[in-house]
Structure 1
Amino acid sequence: MKDSGQLNEADSALVHALQISPRATWSRLASVLDHDAVTLARRWKRLTDRGAAWISCYPGPALAESGQGCLAFVEVDCAGGRVLEVADRLSRQPMVTTVEHVTGDRDLLLTVMRPDLASLSRWVTRSLSSLPGVTASRTHVAGAIYTEGSRWRLRALSADQVARLTERRPPVGRTGGPPTDLDRRIMVALSEDGRAPYTALAETCGTGVDTIRRRTRHLLDAGAVHIRCETARPLSQRPVAAVLWAQVPSGSLEDAARRIAGMPDVRLCAAITGRHNLLVVAWVRSVNDIQRLETRVTAQAPGSTIGDRAVALWPMKLSGHLLDEAGYRRGTIPIDGWSTLDATEDTDAAAALAGQGP
């Protein structure tokens, strides 16, 4: 049953643990959380069945930094009365990872992944612009990503528990060339369920378990993919998502962005092109906290200004997962930045990828 309360102590600890180590075995989690593995697995199933928590996966910034991917934030204006229609079609697009109905001078804010700038241009000019109900759009290409949602934490564990769960990973290196067809299939499969067992991934991707294990670990260690545990926003103690567009003096952008990225409420801090050069997304306790957030952001970046701001009224899709109006997961459209599906096509095929309707 869905409710507007908070996660209990045990569930909060489990979610925090999975935010730190999303693919940890139940036995490893049990050794830290002081619960047996069967109980933890049962608790997780109850949370996922409610749509209260889930684990997503998406291409990491390392791909874009190596010239093998392109991330963009797209503002979309819709004709009167057609916002939900447009949002529904865009939510079914595999390359549109996030769709939010927001306040301010746009109706929708999208996060879009494409292989390169040329394919992004084709999608915006030929697919998005021809979608019935879309009247205008503005595209901001992302540069450096200083923090993103996989680093956000619920803060329910002790420092000792966090230390015990933190994996000693090898330094993130190069992705080792463009992703192969198998790598792409793994990414798509993990975007539906980031905890999918290697046996299930092998069956989905049509290859052996050892190969899947080796390639998945490589993608994770190289930063080519990021896995994160999400919780329904009403259960996060920070139910309001604020979006800030900032202009920071170019000479201090790098240092300021890293300081802003270290703020505990910040979920995304990214350099962008356009009239503003920094995008900040944070989860806060209330709308009243947004002004305080702006004050703290500008304090971290002397000489900066907040040029625009928005509140997410309804996060309809988050990292490939469809959400209801209360913020609970209701389905999945696996992320595929290489997809050639057109936004104006019949999108039932996209829904079928997840085996779930809207």
Structure 2
Amino acid sequence: MAQEFGGVLDGLDQALVHALQIAPRAGWARVGAAIGVDPVTVARRWARLTRAGAAWVSCHPAPVVADSGQGCLAFVEVDCANGRLPDVARALTAERHVAAVEHVSGGRDLLLTVFAPHLPALTRWVTHRLGSLEGIVATRTHLASTVYTEGSRWRLRALDSAQVARLTGSAPARADAQVFALTDLDHALLAELSVDGRASHRVLAERCGTSPDTVRRRVNRLFAAGMAQTRCEVARPLSEWPVSLILWGQVAAGDLRGVAEQVTGAREVRLCAGVVGRHNLKVIAWVRSLDDAQRFEVRLAERVPALTVVDRAVALWPMKLNGHLLDERGYRVGAVPIDVRGVAPD
């Protein structure tokens, strides 16, 4: 099915993806009104995109969950024995709490994004699971301290300002709810939404064994408190930004927040996070080519002179992105629910 796109999304496809990047769970009537297309056509286009693995909506626990003491985020580097990388990667992509698995260039073979309920669980998983997985030579764990921006804020920028205003203007007002303790049902809902961020309340109720009204209340509460983060993804070859560049940087501790705010202002940046490890800032950017990767680093140095880039890599194959499995070209071929509860027993 991917071949039908010919490597390029048309104008309507791009407008639809951009609209869902702004409002991932918006109804088709609202999306259609914003981009000037009837709801039936919009729904048909989206079905076509998802069948092809060209675009999808995912969900993950938002940074405030970790900030509230109910989780932690880590980036784990994995070195594999010669010839064992495919087996190791296959095993790790099946882990429900491993949100991302990337085969990368440079000084590590695989780069993982890992959710855990707390540091002891993460430690046990790294020590016992990774430590015993055949084919792994070494691992290095870097804890995320603050996530300054992440992929849900990245935009295709296919809509004009008036269309964006129509879409955001019709959005329901967000309640300023307090962060709360997650229940097993909340975790189950987050897991199901991670596979399909647009799943209806009825479908979620069927999958979680409860009523649609209960699901509606719980899902609305998760979003109102900012604890669930949905985002619309597009296969990178179709975005015109096919190269994923990963940078590790060093910043004076007192300047970290200010530097991070400057970094997040760059259009290409998908992730900017403070880390506790060899370096204290991690940046992921989507760029147009390998040449552009080097130009981006030059632009970043000019924009943020207080940042020293000390290591860099390119994602050769993002095998898993936010729970979704990708083929070598970057198209979605499946998903593994994100669920931190199975990391390790308490």
Which TM class, normalised by the smaller chain length?
Answer: over 0.9
Q: Secondary structure at the match of 1:129?
A: helix
Q: Which runs of 5+ in 1 are unaligned?
A: 343-358
Contact 1:284 1:290 in 2 (8 A): yes
Which of 85, 90, 93 in structure 2 is aligned with 1:91?
Answer: 93
Aligned to 2:83: 81
Q: Secondary structure at the match of 2:102?
A: strand
User: Which amino acid in 1 is paired with 2:299?
Assistant: R
The offset of 1:129, in angstroms, is 1.4
Identity of aligned residues (%): 56
Contact 1:256 1:300 in 2 (8 A): no
Aligned to 1:174: 178
Cα displacement string for residues 49-89 of structure 1 (whole angstroms, at most 9, x for unaligned residues): 01001110011101011111100000000000111110010
Aligned-partner Cα distance in 1 for 2:63–2:196: 20
Question: What's the C-alpha RMSD, in Å, of the aligned pairs?
Answer: 1.3
Q: Are 1:263 and 2:266 an aligned pair?
A: yes
Moved more, 205-214 or 62-71: 205-214
Aligned-partner Cα distance in 1 for 2:330–2:176: 33
Q: Are 1:2 and 2:6 an aligned pair?
A: no
Aligned to 1:210: 213
Aligned to 1:352: none
Aligned-partner Cα distance in 2 for 1:80–1:265: 33
User: Which amino acid in 2 is paired with 1:288?
Assistant: D
Q: Are 1:165 and 2:167 an aligned pair?
A: yes
The offset of 1:168, in angstroms, is 5.4
Moved over 4 A (4+): none
Contact 1:93 1:341 in 2 (8 A): no
Q: Which runs of 5+ in 2 are unaligned?
A: none
Contact 2:124 2:344 in 1 (8 A): no
The offset of 1:296, in angstroms, is 2.6
Aligned-partner Cα distance in 2 for 1:62–1:223: 7
Aligned-partner Cα distance in 2 for 1:341–1:303: 40
Q: Secondary structure at the match of 1:338?
A: helix
Moved more, 166-175 or 115-124: 166-175
Cα displacement string for residues 166-204 of structure 1 (whole angstroms, at most 9, x for unaligned residues): 23543655312x201110111011011000011001111
Q: Give the TM-score, by structure 1 length.
A: 0.93
Aligned-partner Cα distance in 1 for 2:176–2:154: 19
Cα displacement string for residues 73-117 of structure 1 (whole angstroms, at most 9, x for unaligned residues): 000000001111100100000010000000000000000000011
Contact 1:248 1:301 in 2 (8 A): no
The offset of 1:210, in angstroms, is 1.4
Q: Structure 1 residues 303, 170: closer, same or farther in 2, change over 3 A?
A: same
Aligned-partner Cα distance in 2 for 1:146–1:169: 24
Contact 1:169 1:221 in 2 (8 A): no
Aligned to 1:199: 202
Contact 1:96 1:110 in 2 (8 A): yes
Aligned to 1:219: 222
* Mapping for residues 11-90 of structure 1, pairs under 5 Å: 11-90=13-92
User: Which amino acid in 1 is paired with 2:99?
Assistant: T
Q: Are 1:304 and 2:310 an aligned pair?
A: no
Q: Structure 1 residues 238, 38: closer, same or farther in 2, change over 3 A?
A: same
Aligned-partner Cα distance in 2 for 1:117–1:314: 28
Q: Give the TM-score, by structure 2 length.
A: 0.96
Moved more, 217-226 or 45-54: 217-226
User: Which amino acid in 2 is paired with 1:150?
Assistant: S
The offset of 1:294, in angstroms, is 1.6
The offset of 1:137, in angstroms, is 0.5
Aligned to 2:137: 135
Contact 1:60 1:224 in 2 (8 A): yes
Cα displacement string for residues 282-307 of structure 1 (whole angstroms, at most 9, x for unaligned residues): 00000111122222323343332111
Contact 2:189 2:208 in 1 (8 A): yes
Cα displacement string for residues 14-48 of structure 1 (whole angstroms, at most 9, x for unaligned residues): 00000100100011111111111111111111110
Aligned-partner Cα distance in 2 for 1:277–1:256: 11
Aligned to 1:156: 158
User: Which amino acid in 2 is paired with 1:2?
Assistant: A
Q: Secondary structure at the match of 2:283?
A: strand
Contact 2:325 2:333 in 1 (8 A): yes
Moved more, 160-169 or 19-28: 160-169
Aligned-partner Cα distance in 2 for 1:133–1:257: 36
